[in-house]
Structure 1
Amino acid sequence: MLRFAIPSKGRGYDATLSLLESCGLRVVRANPRQYTATIRGLPDTEVLLHRPADIVEKVAEGSIDLGITGYDLVVEQRGDDPALLTIYDDLGFWRAELVFAVPQGWVDVSSWQDLADLAMELRGQGRRLRIATKYPEIIRRFCHQQGINYFDLIDSQGSTEAAPGLGYADIIADITETGTAIRDNRLKIVGGTILRSQAVLVGSRRTLRNDQGKLALVRQLLELIEGRRQGRLFYSLTANLPGASIESVGRQVTARMELAGLQGPTIAPVWSKFDAEQAAPRWYAVNVVVPQDELLPAVQHLRNIGAVSISTVQVQHVFKAESEAFVRLRTALSEERQDV
């Protein structure tokens, strides 16, 4: 039985369900108050609902095999732990940035160097710069890298943005998506992004390394996620073109190689619904798969060579020769790690 953890509530829960359902995997809970579920389409798998921070710890210790959580939590809690493997590093949601924010009235503070200077100034006054954060490990390392050497970290697991206004911190280091909460609390972001975060899929080296049954299930999950993530970047175009032969139509379509599909167009004769002897010229159905950003250029190219009735469908999945994510996982598991 594969033990697969997902966020128990909030945006992470909703986005995870949406991703899995788009892959043909539906999470089913018998009762909304239960913290276990099944997943249709992935047999022998138990879904467990946990806090994202707990998912990191439980996967690292091996009580859970697989989990979806935030990259920021992985770096903060187990960034150097060889027992925790990041199997898929961007699931396409839960994007946020870890930043420093200071009171808007601090007009002379706009960079990390300014914070270093401020820390030195406060030290001369007999105190240290107070930073409220949920990410003490990341912020401690980052401050020392930037020359911010005199500071105290204030643990803040609640509304970190309120800390300067309430007086128990001078500045904050927190995760943000839009910056709205920071601005609402009369703060401003200084410097650049400390860390970019997104939803990731993590796995336990201990429990996956020697269990071929679990690895087979992980491979199935990765194939579907990877195929769906790739598929959403492509469109399939179908058009009818007149031509003397398949060869001549093929030469016209491939005159723009970048718009001629992944390997090339598929071309087939169209059986005319009119009298075949009266229908001239002959018609051919052409199908090409193109990246999303080349959709309109491809449509225009087909128009230019006489195409009519052009239809498009967003591709659901694109499967490569093998799952790149699973190849990376297999390689990571084969590495000798004496400390795991």
Structure 2
Amino acid sequence: MSSTSTTKIDPIRLAVPSKGHLYEGIVEILKTAGYKVRRASDRQYEAIISGHPRFHVVFMRPTDIVTQVEEGRCHLGVTGMDLYAERAHEAESSVVVTPDLGYGGCRLVVAVPESWIDVNHVIDLVDLTAEFKAAGKTFRVSTKYPALTRTYFRKWGIYYYQLIDSDGALELHPSLGIADVIVDLTSSGTTLKDNRLREIEAGTVLDSASCLIGHAPSLAALAEEGVTGPLALLLDAMDGVRASEGWLHLEVVGNPAAPGDGTAAAVAAYLRDQGAQHIARGDVWDAQDAPGWRVTALVAAKKLTACQRHLFTLGASRIVGLPTRFVFGRDSHSTFDTLRAQLKV
């Protein structure tokens, strides 16, 4: 898509889920990125972002966010990839900016009753639906995602079935005789198991997570404001926050005269073996001008405690792990650059 518009979009409307884990996750990401949402209560449906007057936040249901972004009333929106993908055939004016924001992960799966011991793979449903048809019976599938389900079944050659649309708890449908199988979201599988259902092999219709979507014509205009414009600064900040998640900035300082049998090179090699990133080393001097060495790196927060004793055996005299807020690398992925290329701006 190309755009010749240079119209300044003011304000920039960002649609955010009004409650739940999709709301909590994006508000935390924005806060860490320096975009704190000012919302007095969960009954407030509009808010501002401190220090960023161009952004106007509106709160609504995740399903409505897909519609409002597609129609251009909102320029950016946070929703579930499952909800966006279900409407993808209608998405002529919207694009996915970030397909996975790092939280809200789940899967849309086909689940059958545990008692169906002969149905273990989706291919088994091909024969089963044909048997239902031959016997004059209707194979019923309950789901909140009819478009995704039809596409998935068509891919596997499954044609003889009836979709049962429902907004309620689908897990009850097989036991109540409403449907034979369900296509629903799961994260851990516990709810399915508690209701005597199980996934089948190759039965994942879609991997989903929280995502950022946008109205393509509006984003094209915003992208033309360049790398110092509000869209670029927001996306860059979110990239930096997401790249820092789970990492500590590690500093290891050693003294050649201190007990130990290693050097900065040995420490760097050890950290590299532990999966550390952005490793650097150099010389340092203490307050008495005694020489020493220093190694810095990004290390997984969950690994630091297990590493510290070995680092001391390698000659470390001090180990400091600091939380990271942003991580930027010259070759790091840039959401803004990818979006600009996608929109041909």
TM-score (norm 2): 0.85
From 165, 182, 185, the equivalent of 2:192 is 182
**Residues 297 and 262 (structure 1), Cα distance of their counterparts in 2 relative to 1, 3 Å cut:** farther
From 232, 236, 241, the equivalent of 1:228 is 241
Residue 43 (structure 2) pairs with residue 53 (structure 1): no
- Give the equivalent residue in structure 1 for 2:292: 284
In structure 1, the gaps of 5 or more residues are: 277-281, 336-340
From 162, 183, 201, the equivalent of 2:172 is 162
- Give the equivalent residue in structure 1 for 2:284: 268
- Give the equivalent residue in structure 2 for 1:122: 132
- Give the equivalent residue in structure 2 for 1:320: 329
- Is residue 247–residue 299 contact of structure 2 (8 Å, CA) maintained in 1? yes
Residue 117 (structure 2) pairs with residue 107 (structure 1): yes
CA distance in 1, matches of 2:319, 2:271: 19
Post-superposition offset of 1:17: 1.9
From 7, 29, 38, the equivalent of 2:17 is 7
**Residues 17 and 99 (structure 1), Cα distance of their counterparts in 2 relative to 1, 3 Å cut:** same
**Residues 60 and 309 (structure 1), Cα distance of their counterparts in 2 relative to 1, 3 Å cut:** same
Residue 259 (structure 2) pairs with residue 243 (structure 1): no
Residue 108 (structure 2) pairs with residue 98 (structure 1): yes
CA distance in 2, matches of 1:169, 1:214: 53
- Is residue 308–residue 319 contact of structure 2 (8 Å, CA) maintained in 1? yes
**Residues 41 and 163 (structure 1), Cα distance of their counterparts in 2 relative to 1, 3 Å cut:** farther
Report the 3-state secondary structure (helix = DSSP H, G, I; strand = E; otherwise coil) of the residue aligned with 1:98: strand
Report the 3-state secondary structure (helix = DSSP H, G, I; strand = E; otherwise coil) of the residue aligned with 1:47: strand
- Give the equivalent residue in structure 1 for 2:231: 218
TM-score (norm 1): 0.86
2:320 alignment partner AA: S
**Residues 267 and 316 (structure 1), Cα distance of their counterparts in 2 relative to 1, 3 Å cut:** farther
Deviations 1:119-166 (A, max 9, x none): 000000112211000111111011011121101111111111122222
- Give the equivalent residue in structure 2 for 1:338: none
- Give the equivalent residue in structure 2 for 1:29: 39
- Is residue 250–residue 267 contact of structure 1 (8 Å, CA) maintained in 2? no
CA distance in 2, matches of 1:14, 1:228: 15
- Is residue 236–residue 287 contact of structure 1 (8 Å, CA) maintained in 2? no
CA distance in 1, matches of 2:295, 2:241: 20
- Is residue 56–residue 78 contact of structure 1 (8 Å, CA) maintained in 2? no
**Residues 82 and 250 (structure 1), Cα distance of their counterparts in 2 relative to 1, 3 Å cut:** farther
Deviations 1:77-118 (A, max 9, x none): 125734211111211111111111112222211211111111
- Give the equivalent residue in structure 2 for 1:195: 206
Deviations 1:255-285 (A, max 9, x none): 568368615225421113xxx7xxxxx3435
Report 1:84-95 matches (<5 A): 84-95=94-105
In structure 2, the gaps of 5 or more residues are: 1-10
Report the 3-state secondary structure (helix = DSSP H, G, I; strand = E; otherwise coil) of the residue aligned with 1:119: helix
Post-superposition offset of 1:182: 1.6
Q: Aligned-pair RMSD on alpha carbons?
A: 2.6
CA distance in 1, matches of 2:269, 2:122: 52
Count of residues paired in the alignment: 324
Residue 318 (structure 2) pairs with residue 309 (structure 1): yes
- Give the equivalent residue in structure 1 for 2:144: 134
- Is residue 240–residue 283 contact of structure 1 (8 Å, CA) maintained in 2? no
Q: Tell me whether 298-307 or 81-90 shows the greater mean CA deviation.
A: 298-307
**Residues 298 and 185 (structure 1), Cα distance of their counterparts in 2 relative to 1, 3 Å cut:** closer
Report the 3-state secondary structure (helix = DSSP H, G, I; strand = E; otherwise coil) of the residue aligned with 2:298: strand
Report the 3-state secondary structure (helix = DSSP H, G, I; strand = E; otherwise coil) of the residue aligned with 1:30: coil
Post-superposition offset of 1:195: 0.9
Q: Tell me whether 196-205 or 176-185 shows the greater mean CA deviation.
A: 176-185
- Is residue 2–residue 214 contact of structure 1 (8 Å, CA) maintained in 2? no
Deviations 1:165-208 (A, max 9, x none): 22221110001112222222222222232211000111110212
CA distance in 1, matches of 2:267, 2:189: 47
CA distance in 2, matches of 1:252, 1:204: 51
Report the 3-state secondary structure (helix = DSSP H, G, I; strand = E; otherwise coil) of the residue aligned with 2:319: strand
1:141 alignment partner AA: T
